[in-house]
Structure 1
Amino acid sequence: MVALSIHEALVKNDVKSLSKQEITKTLEVPPQQSMGDYAFPCFVLAKTLKKAPNQIANDLSANMESGLIERVEAVGPYVNVYLDKTFTGKAIVEEILNEREAYGSPSLGNGEQITIDLSSPNIAKPFSMGHLRSTVIGNALANIMQKCGYTPVKINHLGDWGTQFGKLITAYKQWGEEEKVKAEPIKELLALYIHFHEEAEVNPELEVQGRYWFKQLEDGNQEALALWKWFREVSLVDFQRIYQLLGVEFDSFQGEAFYNDKMEPVVNELEEKHLLSESDGAMVVGLDEFNHPPCLIKKSDGATLYATRDLAAALYRKKEYSFAKALYVVGGEQSLHFKQVFEVLKKMGYTWAADMHHISFGMMLKDGKKMSTRKGKIVLLEEVLKEAIELATENIESRNHELENKEEVAKSVGVGAVIFHDLKNYRQNDIEFSLESMLTFEGETGPYIQYTYARACSILRKGMNQVEIVEQSYQAFQDDKAWTVLSLLMKFEEVITHAYHQFDPSQIAKYTIDLAQAFNKYYATVRILEEDNQLGSRLQLVEATTIVLKEGLRLLGLKAPEKM
């Protein structure tokens, strides 16, 4: 909106070298509100106009009033832009009220598909807090991609193959009891897995047996296959319950095992393209030109590896989905692995490898250390979610025990608290697991934003019952607190665009915090429901805020209860 007005003003000054999109990227927000609403840096025009940025700023400031712009001021190499608050405010709320949830949608995609590899827990192991990050970051990115005009394809690349299943089969045959596994599948399978590693420390023969049983599984041994299928089925039932709590759905559950018959063609293609070489009996693809170690394709015993499987998966997904981008939401410790996979694809001649991105993230730590399933040092996500819901229920009972749909609201608030605690942090940062900070219902939290939304909905319900004001004035938007809210509403598309380009949901989380805080300051100082000729415009501002808050929460994977 503002970029369009500045673009019109520049065209009026015979400056036509910048598009609206380029202006959007270059606009800055001054450090103080007294310096204007936006600052346009004239450095970007110096080369085209062959003038000093200060001179360009002075020239433009003489004739730049246009549309939403009330006045401009040249300050060094910048043109500081002051918007007409009444005119701009009216335009903003009208656009939001007309477009509703479609407001703020950048036209970046055209329905093209983007595959997103997310969550991907190992079967026969519980869903821990360590899996939360990939799940909620990936889900939020899928929502953001969809908002930007793409079609996301959410793939749960299950860890359903590998040596660990040989170990688990060994453990089950040694100590497992069918009835115990049937009664509490994941709990019992985890206990067996932990017990295997404890025993293997004093009895190395167990590791040999584990490798033997995985080889049996690879060779199609009926007993091994039957156990593996059983472990997979009970795991998926367990996972599905947690995904329903989180509100996360998938388009595909094709895991590692799906690519078992798709790896040999990849190895053959690498051989045909003369990319494979031998190293200590293993087959590798050299990556010296990328300054990376060789990518291991086949071990000396002929077994394929994660890289082989991911190459097969990439080729399958490109053929199946014809993706515009492929995102892998996987922890930062796998950074080298994905660099190698993408580089091998480039060497194979697939230019679309440039559209593949590893969306890395920091670890979920407990007492400063990485959580480990092997050592039993994990926090179960389902237990955290249940505790969060219980706490939300207690808060609702104490504040509004007559609330309808208490159970549903408590679930939305409790689960939202856990999701938002993760997403408000920049994804590359490690997060220390802290139930206390995660479940705080004050400050920069999901429940705080949900409560702000519910409060705004309550104002609207009361306002609709008041006397209809015939005369309408937008002078209310001159108020500083109102203008702060309006300025944030205007930036929604800009925030989404940045979150898209940087694969960073935390920008939307921080934006919703800023908007909720600005609205609460407005609510605390302005008599919104006072019956005067500005009541209608104030209610429009409240409604516009509810639309954007709800959409911001939705993008993050949170629900917005209208009553709390």
Structure 2
Amino acid sequence: MEKHVLALQLSQILGEEFNRDWIYEHIEIPKQEKMGDLAFPCFKLSPALRKPPQDLASELAPQLKHDLFENVQPVGGYINIFLNQQFITEHTLKQILTEQENYGKHTFGEGKTVVFDLSAPNIAKPFSMGHLRSTVIGNSLANLAANYGYETVKINYIGDYGTQFGKLLSAYKNWGDEEKIRANPLAELTKIYVKFHEEAKENTLLIDEGRHWFKKLEQQDEEALRLWRWFKEVSLEEFEKIYQLLGIEFDLTRGEAYYNDKMDATVELLKEHQLLEDSDGAKVVRLDEEGIPPCLIKKSDGTTIYATRDLTAAIDRFNSYSFDEALYVVGHEQSLHFAQIKHVLNKLGFNWAQNVKHISFGMMLQDGKKMSTRQGKTILLENVLKEAIQQASDSIEEKNPQLRNKETVARQVGVGAVIFHDLKQDRRNDVEFSIEDMLRFEGNTAPYLQYSYVRAQSILQKGGFKVDASNPFLSDEKAWSLIKQIRKFPEATAKAYKEYDPSQIAKYLLDLAKTFNQYYTHTKILQGEQQDAKLTLVYGFSLVLKQGLSLLGIEAPEEM
């Protein structure tokens, strides 16, 4: 609120040349509280107004007056604003007590729909750490979108089609053992898939055999279909175990193969728009004007490629949901592919193509290299989750063996640690896999945040706190830093979704918890005057922390 008031006042003083949104974006938070609570750098105005920033600060500061502002000072080229602590403290705590779980929610997206394409593991392959990123980033973004007011549709677009399945079918016919696969499906299927690529280095005929089996699959060969359906069934059963551990649900799980009988319509549509061209026997859509390579629609042997399916899927999703945004949470190595898809949709005359967005992210690396199933270099997510839960369980047995619901808490803490280790990173950066860092239970981790929440709950319980909007409000300078952090929550959630960046919430929560723990260290909350008021502040902190963790897909245990 105070940033909006400051931006509005400055825009009114400065005139139309400097609009409110531009001013708002340039308002800063001073690193030191002694420099104020807000600051505006007049250096940004100086070139246009042809005045030194110091002079502009001195001219503008006296004109800024509002009940929210306790003091306004020109300092160098900055306007430093000290806020009315008592007014803002009372307003913030009253807002939290009134809104409860709705604090920090927005209505900007009401009446609009966002479709998410996330997770998307490949059948017949184990769920590796490489697929964790799409899963948890996409889930968090969907949570943020719902918090923003949007209707969300989460689609798990399973990789169940393509030439790799011809290779897998060939591998099964050569080395598959039905009993072993039924006993341990994904491990055995991965084993023969890796063996195929190893053998193909020496025996190039295997590649042709893989192509032959994929063609049989496309032609609805009975044996190829039976094996493919079996592989898919056992894979989905294994994936569901992972999603249950992560606490993630989807609105729709659909494989690429769903679009097999719908792609002809897309190809015909491309022909009608005279977009298809021959290229060495293949069918492509040229994108020379866009400065990128052509989009391959059909290979020279007549088989389709995943671009054809993605075009068909995008059209189907718009027809089904009339989405306002379609977000594809997929690694950055697919950037060219999604650029091609978007441009082809544009050429087809779909105005909604501009709202199709690729939300890219960096790779999960192992020893500085990309994980690869075909080379047998991958780390299984299920194993990492189980190890995290076990370490949490061991910690509970060591520190609090009498804890109730120990298994539930161990799962909440262990799984939370894995999710947070990913989401605290900027999604655009590569992440080096380190189980040691992931499972650390101190520092910038989910267990640190969860323990801060448990500490707050313990204080509230001991103090007999009850939610009451008539509770006396706080007059305590020690609480000011925490009030300001709590007050940032609505802005932090909005910004995180606008920039499609869950790491902003993760970093905000770390700052929030650190500020709370400093307040706890220096304040006797359950002693002295204003106990009810101090408990109201603790309640506000715990509510915001729990809400923030939920946006990341992490649970907040009541005890640890």
Report the CA distance shift for 1:414/1:337 in structure 2 as closer, same or farther (over 3 A): same
SS at structure 2 position matched to 1:79: strand
For 1:29, give the aligned amino acid.
I
Corresponding position of 1:277: 277
TM-score, L = length of structure 1 = 0.94
Distance in 2 (CA, whole Å) between partners of 1:277 and 1:77 is 60
Q: How does 1:141-220 map onto structure 2 within 5 Å? A: 141-220=141-220
Which residue is equivalent to 2:245? 245
In structure 2, distance between residues paired with 1:24 and 1:201: 59
Question: In the alignment, does 2:283 pair up with 1:287?
Answer: no
Which residue type is aligned with residue 285 of structure 1?
Answer: V
State the partner residue of 1:504.
501
Q: 1:473 to 1:378 in 2, by over 3 A?
A: closer
Q: Distance in 1 between matches of 2:142 and 2:46?
A: 39
The one of 509, 533, 540 equivalent to 2:536 is: 540
Does the C-alpha gap of structure 1 residues 102 and 45 become closer, same or farther in structure 2, counting only changes over 3 Å?
farther
Matches of 2:141 and 2:446 in 1, distance apart?
Answer: 18
Q: Do the aligned partners of 1:10 and 1:16 also contact (CA within 8 Å) in 2? A: no
The aligned counterpart of 1:110 is 110
SS at match of 1:156: strand
Cα deviation per residue 1:142-171 (whole Å; 9 max; x = unaligned)?
A: 001111111111111100001111121122
Q: Which residue number in structure 2 is paired with residue 32 of structure 1?
A: 32
For residue 64 of structure 1, report the CA deviation from its aligned partner: 2.2
Structure-1 separation of matches of 2:340 and 2:208: 30
Tell whether the 8 Å contact from 1:413 to 1:447 is kept in structure 2 after alignment: yes
Q: 18-27 or 198-207, which moves further after superposition? A: 18-27
* Cα offset, 1:48, TM superposition: 10
Counterpart in the other structure of 1:489 = 486
Residues 450, 556 of structure 2: 8 Å contact kept: yes
CA shift, 1:132, in A, is 0.4
Q: How does 1:284-433 map to 2 (within 5 A)?
A: 284-433=284-433
User: What's the counterpart of residue 518 of structure 2?
Assistant: 521
Distance in 2, Cα, partners of 1:471 & 1:225: 67
Q: Per the alignment, do residues 352 and 53 of structure 1 end up closer, same or farther by CA in structure 2, a change over 3 Å counting?
A: farther
SS of 2:555's equivalent in the other structure is coil
Deviation at 1:299, TM superposition (A): 1.4
Change in CA separation of 1:320 and 1:326 when aligned onto 2, cut-off 3 Å = same
Do the aligned residues in 2 keep the contact of 1:389 with 1:415 (CA within 8 Å)? yes
User: Contact 2:465 / 2:535 at 8 angstroms: preserved in 1?
Assistant: no
Residue 190 of structure 1: SS of its match in structure 2? helix
Contact 1:64 1:71 in 2 (8 A): no
Matched to 1:159, the amino acid is G
Q: Give deviations 1:85-119, integer Å, cap 9, x for gaps.
A: 12211211221222122111233211311111100
TM superposition shift of 1:59: 3.8
Give 3-state SS (helix, strand or coil) of 1:304's partner: coil
Separation in 2, partners of 1:379, 1:19: 51
* Cα distance between partner residues in 1 of 2:546 and 2:465: 23
Letter in 1 for 2:420: F
Kindly state the Cα deviation for residue 24 of structure 1 after the two structures are TM-superposed: 4.0
Shift of 1:540: 1.2
Distance 1:215 1:38, change over 3 A: same
Residue 173 of structure 1: how far off its partner (Å) = 1.8
User: Quick check: 225-234 or 72-81, which moved more?
Assistant: 72-81
Write out aligned runs for 1:475-486 (5 A).
475-476=475-476, 478-479=477-478, 482-486=479-483
Task: Note the C-alpha offset of 1:75.
Answer: 3.3
CA deviation map 1:309-363 (0-9, x unaligned): 1111111111111111111111111111111111111122222211111111111
Q: What code does the residue aligned with 2:506 have?
A: A
- Aligned match of 2:546 in 529, 544, 550? 550
Determine the C-alpha separation between the residues in 2 that align with 1:56 and 1:291: 46
Which moves more between the two structures, 523-532 or 420-429?
A: 523-532
Residue number in structure 1 paired with 2:463: 463
Deviations 1:160-185 (A, max 9, x none): 00111112112222222222221111
**Is the contact between residue 71 and residue 82 of structure 1 (CA under 8 Å) also seen in structure 2?**
yes
| Structure 1 counterpart SS, 2:254 | coil
Contact 1:5–1:67 under 8 Å retained in 2? no
Secondary structure in 2 aligned to 1:390?
Answer: helix
| CA shift for structure 1 position 6 | 2.5
The sequence identity of aligned pairs, in percent, is: 54
Q: Matches of 1:543 and 1:235 in 2, distance apart?
A: 44
Q: Deviations over 1:169-203 (max 9, x none)?
A: 12222222222221111121111211222222222
Work out the CA distance in 2 between the residues paired with 1:293 and 1:7. Answer: 45
Distance (whole Å) between structure 1 residues aligned to residue 533 and residue 65 of structure 2: 25
**SS in structure 2 of the partner of residue 474 of structure 1:** coil
Query: Judging changes above 3 Å, is the alpha-carbon distance between structure 1 residues 49 and 255 closer, same or farther for their aligned structure 2 residues?
Result: same
Q: 1:51 to 1:323 in 2, by over 3 A?
A: farther
Shift of 1:17: 8.2
Relative to structure 1, is the Cα distance of residues 176 and 391 closer, same or farther in structure 2, using a 3 angstrom cutoff?
same
Contact 2:126 2:190 in 1 (8 A): yes
CA 1:143–1:18: 2 relative to 1, 3 Å? farther
Residues 7, 21 of structure 2: 8 Å contact kept: no
Seen in structure 2, the aligned counterparts of structure 1 residues 280 and 34 have a Cα distance that, compared at 3 Å, is same
* Amino acid across the alignment from 2:225: L
Question: 5+ residue gaps in structure 2?
Answer: none
- Alignment: residue pair count: 558
Which secondary structure does the structure 2 equivalent of 1:301 belong to?
coil
**Change over 3 Å in CA distance of 1:7–1:336 after alignment to 2:** closer
Aligned partners of 1:17 and 1:485: how far apart in 2?
36
Distance (whole Å) between structure 2 residues aligned to residue 75 and residue 489 of structure 1: 27
Task: Give, in whole Å, the separation in 1 of the partners of 2:341 and 2:12.
Answer: 50
Aligned counterparts, 1:35-46, within 5 A: 35-41=35-41
Q: What's the secondary structure of 1:197's corresponding residue?
A: helix
